[in-house]
């Protein structure tokens, strides 16, 4: 495909109307909310999850903290691509989020299914297999 293709003729009625709509401050703000460059929601969600697995007010050994961070990463990766929640009629559900750091700012997000803990079952069975094969690991 030719990326340098002109889709609108400069100065045409369509180009002028598009420019009027696209340059409105309200539209620019909305696009900024949609742009992944300006969204840090997933990173903030991961950091929040780390705090649930390893709270700052509790002291852990290095191995304990490392294990908790690995569990948080497993949980985040296994639940990162959850399906979208739908109503009984099959319509996608949305929610409006009002972040504290953005006064008056909001964003619309799809509501996802509840997280699962299937990774914990798989991890537990794998751990049992390993310990059954090598009992000296327990001592």
DSSP 60-104: --HHHHHHHHHHHHHHHHHHTTPPBPB-TTSPBPEEEE--TTSTT
| 126 — pLDDT class (breaks 50, 70, 90) | very high
Whether 69 shows a pLDDT value over 90: the answer reads yes
- The candidate with the shortest Cα–Cα distance to 120, out of 51, 69, 68, 74, is 74
Both 74 and 45 in one domain: the answer is yes
Both 85 and 45 in one domain: the answer is yes
C-beta atoms surrounding 68 within 10 Å: 17
Whether 37 shows a pLDDT value over 80: the answer reads no
Whether 22 shows a pLDDT value over 80: the answer reads yes
The total number of structural domains in the chain stands at 2
Structural domain of 52:
39-138
Task: Name the average pLDDT for the chain.
Answer: 85
- Please tell me which residue, 35 or 17, carries the higher pLDDT value: 17
Both 76 and 93 in one domain: the answer is yes
Whether 87 shows a pLDDT value over 60: the answer reads yes
Both 82 and 128 in one domain: the answer is yes
Whether 3 shows a pLDDT value over 60: the answer reads yes
pLDDT in tens, 90-124: 898 988 888 777 676 777 888 888 998 989 999 99
Q: Is 23:13 a contact under the CB 8 Å cutoff? A: no
pLDDT in tens, 44-64: 889 999 999 999 999 999 999
Both 122 and 55 in one domain: the answer is yes
Whether 72 shows a pLDDT value over 90: the answer reads yes
Both 103 and 53 in one domain: the answer is yes
Instruction: Give the pairing of strands 107-110 and 94-97.
Output: antiparallel
Least confident interval from 14-23, 66-75, 78-87: 78-87
Q: Cα–Cα–Cα angle for 6, 7, 9, nearest 5°?
A: 75
Whether 1 shows a pLDDT value over 60: the answer reads no
């Amino acid at each position: 495909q030719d990326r340098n293709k002109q889709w609108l003729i400069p100065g045409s009625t369509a180009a002028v109307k598009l420019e009027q709509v696209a340059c409105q401050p309200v539209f620019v703000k909305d696009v900024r909310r949609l742009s992944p460059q300006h969204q840090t929601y997933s990173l903030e969600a991961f950091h929040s999850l780390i705090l649930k697995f390893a709270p700052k007010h509790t002291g852990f050994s290095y191995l304990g903290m490392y294990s908790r961070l690995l569990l948080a990463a497993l949980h985040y990766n296994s639940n990162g691509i959850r399906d979208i929640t739908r109503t009984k009629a099959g319509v996608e559900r949305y929610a409006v989020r009002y972040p504290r750091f953005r006064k008056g700012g909001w964003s619309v997000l799809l509501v996802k299914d509840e997280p699962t803990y299937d990774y914990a079952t798989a991890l537990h069975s794998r751990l049992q297999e390993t310990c059954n094969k090598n009992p000296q690991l327990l001592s």
